[in-house]
Chains A and B, each alone.
Chain A
Amino acid sequence: MTEFSKKTVKDAEILHFQKDSAEWWDEKGAFAPLHKLNPVRIKFMRDEMISHFDLGAPTRDILKGLDILDIGCGGGLVCEPLTRLGGQVTGIDADSQAIDIATTHAKTHNLNITYTCTTSEVLSTQKKKYDVVCALEILEHVDDPQFFIKTCLACLKPNGLLLLSTLNRTPKSFLQGIIAAEYLLRWVPKGTHHWSQFLKPSELRRFLKEEGFDINSLKGISYNILKKDFHISDKDLSTNYILSARHI
């Protein structure tokens, strides 16, 4: 497994996020947009898991029995809801401060989540495999996305489900994701994103296909300026998008 000795995470990226780690759970703080985005992406993820694993009508512990890995979990914004829905969740992040925050927050809220400060390339060599692997808003921060996806897939059980979300590389995403979000609205700190690192869905699909996987469902996430809310869009993939992928 020598190829997994490569690194997926940039040190500069870790440092960038560490500055704001304490604010992970502040709904009005540095991660406010993620808090707003969260209900939309959790709903998509829940529904994808329901249909992939044939779980039936949604109940409050619909994800019971699923082993879920969240890569780049940050303060645990995704791990906590998935745990409340019954999932057995493991969250990993290269930023140890974020892991500390996540661990404390889960404890305060009586949630049983396994948090570890590690990376997907380390986990991918381990025996333990997962029903679901998620990496949300992470791809745009890794050095080598193709390699990163490989490590994600290596963490999956056979018939596992991969859930990814990221930013598209389009003129609109440059305007919205960088100019608007970082400079005009100051939603996220300057330097959070590098447009050239954004991936097109077609590029992602190519990476997946090379590993014998394919996109199962692909949706856009659009922002409504008037309603100040994110929503799932079937057509508009130009900025944020989210997808599920499974073995062909």
Chain B
Amino acid sequence: MITMKQDIIIIGAGPAGLSFARAMAETGLNIILLEKQPESVLANPSYDGREIALTHLSHRIMKDLGMWTLIPDQYISLIKKAKVLNGVSPYTLNFDHAESGEDNLGFMVSNQNIRKAAYNSLSGFKNIQIMDKTEVSAVGTDQDKGWVELSDGQRLEAPLIVAADSRFSATRRMMGISTSMLDFGRTCVVCTMSAELPHHETAYECFHFGRTLAVLPLNNNQVSIVITLKSEESETLLSLSKEAFAEDIKTRMEERFGEMELTSELFPYPLVATFANSFHKNRFVLIGDAAVGMHPVTAHGFNLGLRGAHSLANEIKETLNIGGDFSSHMILERYSRQHRRTSAPLYHGTNALVKLYTKETPTAKLARRVLLRLGNHIAPAKRLIMNQLTEIKTTGF
């Protein structure tokens, strides 16, 4: 007879792992989260420069999970309009919340505050335990159980193992799940800046000069800056003085924000997109970036991770309600099918867009101009793009 203290082992207490744990909390199942970092870091994560554009669907899920109320209002900024700019052309693709029927297109919350809220949302649930400073050295599954070996020699068993250990998931590799990776050879640099002129809660996505530059509105007339550029150029950018950097962004944005000032350090991240070739294998399932690691340009990453975690939790809860085995192949297969269907078009679409917008060939340039105009003038296309970005009408969870 196997006696297991845990029902579910979650590897990785990042936003996806924590959200999944929270979504399962009320079932009373015993859940253990294994995390490399000390718990004090989870409770008080440091600022990492990442400001996440949350969709309406994410907003609804986070409200359901009791995470939203844990984010103080002053840390939630709204996006009411969005403009897509192509090169130096004055022509823009415009989105306005008024066309969407909602008060805003999306919400801006820092990754720091999301992580904090996800962590705090677990307080009071005695069935959820975090084992911090823990490294997984081996993982495996058999017919009746999954098991994890920790670097200190401990062994844990549970009917189900959920991996949420980043897009470079080590346990995914240990389980022999292959993964498609796309290294863009580019770097993403993020920071916050203050702007002299009001941003009118407008997000800008500018594609030009082989770079992409996103300027996202934050409260107190701050903006979040996201630059993607060739990795060899990022060194130069990172070595600029604060003043020179501010001057560069000001010019690129054609001074529409007046004077700008850098208010955080510059955080570089290498750009690698990943897509696991299977999201599950006997009693082992991938969520968050371990399943799909998106390019950040269309801001789908955390939204998609949250949606996946939520849909896996829903499959499990439905199974529990009819006394089923929540670790069965059928349940994991159903989650996997659903999540692949949601994420595959976004993943490939985003990668295609990135290629289109970083190429400087005449055809790419033409295609960009055409796309922008089509987007503006064909109502269904525009609605489609808008819903993709905002998930206002997405109810499929």
The residue that B322 contacts in the complex, of A27, A42, A110, with Cβ under 8 A, is A42
User: Quick one: which of A27, A42, A46, A83 contacts B330, CB cutoff 8 A?
Assistant: A27
Within 8 Å CB of A108, what residues of B? 1-2, 144
The residue from B1, B27, B325, B330 contacting A80, defined by CB atoms under 8 A apart: B325
Known: A27-B328, A27-B329, A108-B144. Contact between A58 and B321, CB under 8 A? yes
B387 at the A interface (CB under 8 A): no
* Stretch of A33-41, A156-164, A201-209, A234-242 with 4 or more beta carbons under 8 angstroms from chain B: A33-41
Contact status of A42 and B144, CB under 8 A, knowing A27-B329, A35-B330, A110-B1: no
Query: CA–CA, A143 to B369, complex, Å?
Result: 74
What does the 1/0 interface line of B101-118 toward A look like (CB < 8 Å)? Answer: 000000000000000000
Tell me if B144 and A80 are in contact (CB < 8 A). no
* Chain B residue contacts of A42, Cβ below 8 A: 322-324
Q: CB of A128 within 8 A of chain B?
A: no
| Contact call B329/A80, Cβ cutoff below 8 A | no
Contact with B along A46-74 (1 / 0, CB 8 A): 10000000000010100000000000000
Main secondary structure of the interface of A (DSSP, over half): helix
> Distance in Å from the Cβ of A51 to the closest Cβ of chain B?
15
Is there a chain A Cβ closer than 8 Å to B28's Cβ? yes
Q: Closest B residue to A40 by CB, please name it.
A: B322
CA distance A83 to B324 in the complex (A): 10
The smallest C-beta distance from A76 to any residue of chain B, in angstroms, reads 11
Query: A109 an interface residue at 8 Å Cβ cutoff?
Result: yes
Residues of B within 8 A of A178 (CB): none
Q: Are A85 and B28 in contact (CB under 8 A)?
A: no
Distance A109 CA – B328 CA, assembled complex (angstroms): 13
- For chain B, the bracket of interface size reads 10 to 19
| CB neighbors of A among B323-338 (8 A) | 323-325, 328-330
Set B144, B322, B325: member contacting A46, Cβ < 8 A: B322
Give Cα A232 to B1, complex, Å: 36
Question: Given A27-B329, A28-B329, A108-B2, A83–B321 Cβ distance below 8 Å?
Answer: no
Rounded to whole angstroms, the CA-CA distance of A16 and B2 in the bound complex is 32
In this complex, what residue of A is CB-closest to B4? A110
State whether B144 touches A109 (Cβ < 8 A): yes
Query: Contact between A39 and B329 (Cβ–Cβ < 8 Å)?
Result: no
Which B residues are in CB contact (< 8 Å) with A110?
A: 1-3
Mark B295-307 against chain A: 1 for CB-CB distance below 8 A, else 0.
0000000000000
Q: Enumerate A73-87 residues with CB–CB distance to B below 8 Å.
A: 80-85
A residues in contact with B27, CB < 8 Å: 60
A223 to B307 alpha-carbon distance, docked (Å): 28
Q: For B328, what are the chain A residues with a Cβ–Cβ distance below 8 Å?
A: 27, 35
Q: Please measure, in the bound complex, the distance between the C-alpha atom of A60 and the C-alpha atom of B27, giving whole angstroms.
A: 9
Residue of A nearest to B333 (CB): A27
B322 touches A81 (CB 8 A): yes
Q: Is B264 part of the contact surface with A, judged by Cβ < 8 Å? A: no
CB closest chain-A residue, reference B317? A60
A186 within 8 A of B: no
Q: Is the CB of A81 within 8 A of B323?
A: yes
Scoring B319, B325, B329 by chain A CB atoms within 10 A of each residue's CB, the highest score goes to B325
B319, A39: Cβ atoms under 8 Å?
yes
Instruction: Tell me which of B322, B325, B329 has the highest count of chain A C-beta atoms within 10 A of its own C-beta.
Output: B322
Cα distance A6–B184 when bound, in Å?
75
A43 to B328, CA, bound (A): 17
State how many angstroms separate the Cβ of A103 from the closest Cβ of chain B. 12
Q: How far is the CB of A77 from chain B (nearest CB, A)?
A: 10
Which residue from chain A places its CB closest to the CB of B3 in the assembled complex? A110
Known: A27-B328, A35-B330, A60-B28. A85 touches B323 (CB 8 A): yes
Chain B residue numbers with a CB within 8 Å of A60 are 27-28, 320-321
Closest Cβ of chain B: how far from A226's Cβ, in Å? 12
Q: Which residue of B lies closest to A32 (CB)?
A: B330
B16 to chain A, nearest CB (A): 25
Q: How far is the CA of A108 from the CA of B4 in the complex (A)?
A: 11
Expressed in whole angstroms, the Cα–Cα distance for A192 and B145 within the complex equals: 32
> 17 additional contacts, CB 8 Å, given A35-B328, A81-B324?
A27-B328, A36-B330, A38-B324, A39-B322, A39-B324, A42-B322, A42-B323, A43-B322, A46-B323, A60-B27, A60-B321, A81-B322, A81-B323, A84-B323, A107-B1, A110-B1, A110-B3
Shortest beta-carbon contacts, A-B, top 7 = A81-B323, A84-B323, A85-B323, A42-B322, A27-B329, A43-B322, A108-B144
Identify the A interface with B (CB < 8 A).
Answer: 27-28, 35-36, 38-39, 42-43, 46, 58, 60, 80-85, 107-110
Listed in ascending order, the chain B residues whose CB lies under 8 Å from chain A are 1-3, 27-28, 144, 318-325, 328-330
